[in-house]
Amino acid sequence: MNILVLNCGSSSIKYQLLDMAQTPVLLAKGLVEKIGLPMGNFTHKPEGKEKWTIEQPIADHTVGMDLILKALTDTNHGVIQSLDEIKAVGHRIAHGGEYFSHSVVITPEVKEKIQACCEIAPLHNPAHLKGIETMERLLPEVPQVAVFDTSFHQTLPEKAYIYGIPYEYYSEYKIRKYGFHGTSHKFVAEKACQILGWNITKKKIITCHLGNGASITAINGGKSVDTSMGFTPVAGLVMGTRCGDIDSGALLYICDKKGLTPAEAVKLTNKESGVFGISGASSDFRELEAAVENGNKRAELALDVFAYNVKKYIGAYAAVLNGVDLIIFTGGIGENNISVRKAICNGLSYLGVNFDEKANQVRGEDKIISAPDSRTLLMTITTDEELVIATDTLNLVK
């Protein structure tokens, strides 16, 4: 049973086609970029065949999606004979607000609710809706499922999600902490417990999803009880280009000084900040490390700030959970960056962590990186958000 997984952004579409009949098999994946710009890019990677790239103007999402469907069925570059072989479509949806605590089959009512969340997720949800409506036109008979970044965090207690501002802003405008990366946090916690033979309902876990976007979640008995991202994904850790937690007074001061509009402040805090902003060199951790090698002090500072932030959140969430059984590292940095993990894990002995430097020499694997006598376990776990979307989609449509 083939499932098409889509992640539609405002000017891009990421996709994967997975055969979910038995053990999931990736058939093809790719990316449409620069939708609406004078020149667009399309990259299609069919398994077992050559990569295929096209450069042409891609006016809108319909043109982009059309390219994807044609590539999937193309005689030379395709992986299926006809579109009838796509049995369902799963969409990654950034924001489900308070409406969705799990994935759902898309109906007109579900679309209305995703639409209602556009106001609080203007950078993401409108694009997701475009993707859904385009697929409804192109594959009208195929069921579609929505999988939300926010839904895993709907179990947060009130005390964790209410901000210290007048309550009316919550009741009237739904300003609160929502949290993101939910599919990844849930997936890696469950996968680790499966590997360890643990019953997740009895365990306290801290999951560190460290990629360009980064967030940390406290999971008690399998439920998210606190998470570092907030009303938007800009909160929490210092990230690649996002500022993370910052005194609102400082931001207002900057806006005043520089005469920034809200849109300009969004750009500053989302695209120009984080380790990129601190270092002035790069948002990519491999490039930052290369810069440090070349004596770049601000790149060194950026890496220090990042690791310090992660460590601080681990301490906070150990307090929230009253102890922790397992700390998981995932995402591009969490899975691959040996020195950043080392910087984070050194000095966690008060939590019963005995970090194993040798075991830490690992990239892109599911592995325990604490010593055998460590009371609190450390693990690297590879995440797979597309697989979560495909699995939820399969379970809802079969």
Closest-CA residue to 189 (of 38, 21, 329): 329
Q: Give the one residue of 12, 228, 269, 336 binding ligand ADP; rule: CB under 6 A.
A: 336
CA distance 211 to 330: 8
Specify whether the CB–CB gap between 378 and 6 falls below 8 A.
Answer: no
Judged by CB under 6 A, the stretch of 166-174, 188-196, 283-291, 373-381 that binds ligand ADP is: 283-291
Question: Is residue 215 a contact residue for ligand ADP (CB under 6 A)?
Answer: no
Helices (H) and strands (E) in the chain, counts: 14, 14
Q: How far is the CB of 126 from ligand ADP (least distance, A)?
A: 20
**Beta 223-227 vs 214-220: how paired, if at all?**
antiparallel
Q: Exposed, middle or buried: residue 44 (CB in 10 Å: 0-12, 13-18, 19+)?
A: buried
With contacts defined by CB under 6 A, name the span among 54-62, 89-97, 258-266, 332-340 that binds ligand ADP: 332-340
In the list 337, 360, 374, 391, the residue contacting ligand ADP (rule: CB under 6 A) is 337
Looking at residue 370, the DSSP 8-state letter turns out to be B
Distance between CA 335 and CA 26 in Å, rounded?
21
Interactions with ligand ADP, residue window 240-259 (CB under 6 A)? 240
Query: Smaller CB distance to ligand ADP: residue 337 or 393?
Result: 337
Shortest Å distance, C-beta 189 to ligand ADP:
17
The least distance separating ligand ADP from the CB of residue 274, rounded to whole angstroms, comes to 10
Half-sphere exposure of 385 (CA within 13 A, CB side): 23
Q: Which is nearer to ligand ADP, 155 or 212 (CB)?
A: 212
Which is nearer to ligand ADP, 104 or 310 (by Cβ)? 310
Q: Give the closest residue to 363 by CA, choosing from 377, 346, 382, 376.
A: 382
Task: Choose the catalytic residue: 19, 149, 384, 392.
Answer: 149
In the complex, residue closest to ligand ADP by CB: 332
Q: Which member of 9, 332, 379, 380 binds ligand ADP (CB under 6 A)?
A: 332
- Smaller CB separation from ligand ADP, 64 or 211: 211
Asked whether position 276 contacts ligand ADP by CB under 6 A, the answer is: no
C-alpha span between 187 and 160 (Å, rounded): 22
Q: Indicate the angle between helix axes 285-293 and 297-321, nearest 10 degrees.
A: 130
The correct pick among 85, 136, 245, 284 for binding ligand ADP (CB under 6 A) is 284
User: Applying CB under 6 A, which of residues 286, 293, 346, 375 lies at the interface with ligand ADP?
Assistant: 286
CB of 349 to ligand ADP, least distance (A): 25
Q: Does 149 participate in catalysis according to the annotation? A: yes
213 binds ligand ADP (CB under 6 A): yes
* Residue ranges in 343-382 that form contacts with ligand ADP under rule CB under 6 A: 363
Q: In the bound complex, what is the minimum distance in angstroms from residue 51's beta carbon to ligand ADP? A: 19
Q: Which of 139, 177, 100 is nearest to 15 (CA)?
A: 139
Q: How many CB atoms lie within 10 A of CB 160?
A: 17
Which residue's CB is nearer to ligand ADP, number 270 or number 337?
A: 337
* From candidates 42, 152, 180, 285, binder to ligand ADP by CB under 6 A: 285
Question: How far is the C-alpha of 370 from the C-alpha of 267, rounded, in Å?
Answer: 39
d(C-alpha 161, C-alpha 144), whole Å: 30
Q: How far apart are CA 123 and CA 120, in angstroms?
A: 9
CA angle 309, 313, 319 (to 5 degrees): 150
Least separation in angstroms between CB 338 and ligand ADP: 8
- 216 and 206 in contact (C-beta within 8 Å)? yes
Tell me the residue type at 97.
G
- Smallest distance, Å, CB 331 to ligand ADP? 4
Number of shown-chain residues binding ligand ADP (CB under 6 A): 13
Contacts with ligand ADP, residue ranges (CB under 6 A):
211-213, 240, 284-286, 331-333, 336-337, 363
Residues known to be catalytic: 149
